[in-house]
């Protein structure tokens, strides 16, 4: 392990690197409700739940293809459901249209989860060596 990886995620092999890359891509735009959102908290949380299902699929796929799984990578994956669990439990069955007060609460819960997702993406980008991808406006030439 080289010194740049102490206390951070650093892929040990191709399986771990590919898993980190897949997770980073999945986390890029899946936190906030998409244009199909029906205006209810339950439907806003649907996208978070879908993301958590993808994280679990990534975790299981990774465990199936490696003999020595990375504790750091598994912790990043498991942190997603841990951090989202409060909001999911609170909102998943709330099918009433939002009023101003509940909209603020839901937004706060989603924003907290979005902050966590941003932290996980940053850790993956640092460890995987693709930090510059987060800084580049997509589609524009790189100097």
Q: Where are the domains of the chain?
A: 39-134
- Position 3 pLDDT exceeds 50: no
- CB-based contacts of 2: which residues, under 8 Å, 6+ apart? 10
- C-alpha to C-alpha distance for 122 and 138, rounded to whole angstroms: 17
Beta-carbon contacts of residue 116 (< 8 Å; ≥ 6 apart): 79, 80, 83, 84
Q: How far is CA 94 from the centre of its chain?
A: 23
Tell me if 17 sits within 8 A of 11, measured CB to CB: yes
Reported as type and span, the H/E element at residue 141 is none
**Is the pLDDT confidence value at 114 over 80?**
yes
Q: Model confidence at 128, in pLDDT bands (50, 70, 90)?
A: confident
pLDDT at 134: 59
């Amino acid at each position: 392990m080289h010194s740049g990886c102490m206390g951070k995620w650093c892929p040990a092999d191709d399986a771990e690197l590919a898993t980190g890359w897949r997770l980073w891509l999945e986390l890029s735009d899946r936190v906030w409700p998409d244009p199909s959102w029906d205006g209810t908290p339950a439907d806003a949380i649907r996208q978070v739940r879908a993301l958590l299902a993808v994280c679990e699929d990534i975790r299981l796929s990774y465990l199936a293809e490696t003999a020595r799984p990375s504790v750091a990578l598994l912790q990043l994956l498991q942190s997603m459901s841990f951090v989202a669990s409060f909001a999911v439990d609170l909102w998943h069955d709330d099918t009433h249209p939002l009023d101003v007060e509940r909209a603020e609460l839901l937004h706060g819960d989603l924003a907290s989860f979005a902050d966590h997702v941003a932290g996980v993406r940053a850790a993956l980008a640092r460890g995987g060596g693709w930090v510059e991808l987060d800084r580049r406006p997509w589609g524009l030439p790189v100097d």
